Amino acid sequence: MAWIAAGWLLAYTGFNGALFLSFRQRTRSERRFLKESDGVEVDPIQAAWWLGSSRENAPAQQEWYAAEVAVRLLITAGDAEVDKDGRVTLMPGRPRSLADPVLAALVAGLRRRGSATVLELRTDPRFERFRTVLESRRAPLRERFGRYRVPAATAAVTVAFGMSMHAMIARHGVPGLPDQDPGWWTTVWMAVWAALAPLAGLWPPEMSRPWPRFTRRCRVAVAQALADESAETGFRVSRSVFFAPDRSEGRSGAGHRGSARSPRSRKGWKDVDDDIDGLADTDTDTDTDTGTDADTHGAGGSGDLGGGD
């Protein structure tokens, strides 16, 4: 019985060893990259790529966060500003050249476009150059650890059941039981499996982010690069990451003639028949205001169309 147990447990150990060697082989290039970058300050844009978001345990390698951090770096350096809708424009009188290729491509795109949101940076064809350079800063690392727990747990079940069936066929009793009936192995195998299965938990979960040390370094790099940023700047930039800002908000302020909607659009359904006698005059005013409204919303719509998905 000792030889049977030793053989099956040795097979279980060998399978996990082969799984580890497979992991080492698959991550050879990644480990080389991490070794080369060890001791060197992590680039904040590359760090933002890897972090994927400012929150903990966010999915890795997200382009939107890298683009957002690039914009925030440009603003923190004083080369750009952002309005309350998240639209970024270059500061006048700051034509200096930037050494960072990502920020230089961002500045060149903003000079051609005039202004843009983070969403437009990610979708507008006119910022294709910026996205190409941004993609080149992505760390060559896998986004998830990989599926290793499932094979290890499957091996535990196979070894526990195979060892028990082997002992039963060989007519060996369960060690430690007074009744040496080999039929007990049909039940005892579950206890063996319960002892081996937790070992699969030594492997990280499939969806977990690998390389935790590099993750910590990236988080520090982004925090240090944006240490002088105001909370309002970060909030404004993040407003337009996933959706286009509502350009119609705030039109009733100074320089605007109240609401841009026509008098007819402001009426309730009970007011439709109140002014039948003045229908002609109302239609004239409505056509005039509607033309103004179409022009106004047409201009706003063109900005949103450029950043559409």
- Structural domain ending residue among the three candidates 185, 208, 231: 208
Residue 292 in domain = no
Q: 235 and 136 in one domain?
A: yes
User: 104 and 220, same structural domain?
Assistant: yes
259 lies in some domain: no
Shared-domain flag, residues 156 and 220: no
Per-residue pLDDT tens over the stretch 266-307 = 333 334 344 434 433 434 444 434 343 333 333 333 333 333
- Output b/e per residue, 115-151; b: 16+ Cβ within 10 A: bbbbbbbbebeebeebbebbeebebebeeebbebbeb
The length of the chain is: 309
Q: For residues 57 and 204, what is the distance between their CA atoms, to the nearest angstrom? A: 14
Query: Which residue has better confidence, 260 or 73?
Result: 73
Neighbours of 64 (CB within 10 A): 17
What pLDDT, in 10s, does the model give residues 30-80? Answer: 999 999 998 889 999 999 999 999 988 899 999 999 999 999 999 998 899
Domain assignment present for 302 = no
Could you tell me the strand order of the sheet in which 115-116 lies?
80-82, 88-90, 115-116
108 in the same domain as 59: yes
| Shared-domain flag, residues 4 and 79 | no
What confidence tier does 150 reach under pLDDT thresholds 50, 70, 90?
Answer: very high
Name the nearest CA neighbour of 84 among 213, 198, 246: 246
- Residue 281 placed within a domain: no
For residue 39, the model assigns a pLDDT of 83
pLDDT score of 192: 85
Q: Do 120 and 221 fall within a single domain? A: yes
| 305 belongs to a structural domain | no
Residue 114 lies in a domain: yes
User: What radius of gyration, in Å, describes the C-alpha atoms of the chain?
Assistant: 32
227 and 112 inside one domain: yes
* 170 and 233 belong to one structural domain: no
- Distance CA(112)–CA(120), nearest Å, equals 13
Domain that holds residue 172: 1-40+146-208
Count structural domains, the chain.
2
Query: Any bridge partners for residue 115, and if so which?
Result: 89
Residue 299, in any domain of the structure? no
Same-domain status, 126 and 152: no
Do 23 and 49 sit in the same domain of this protein?
Answer: no
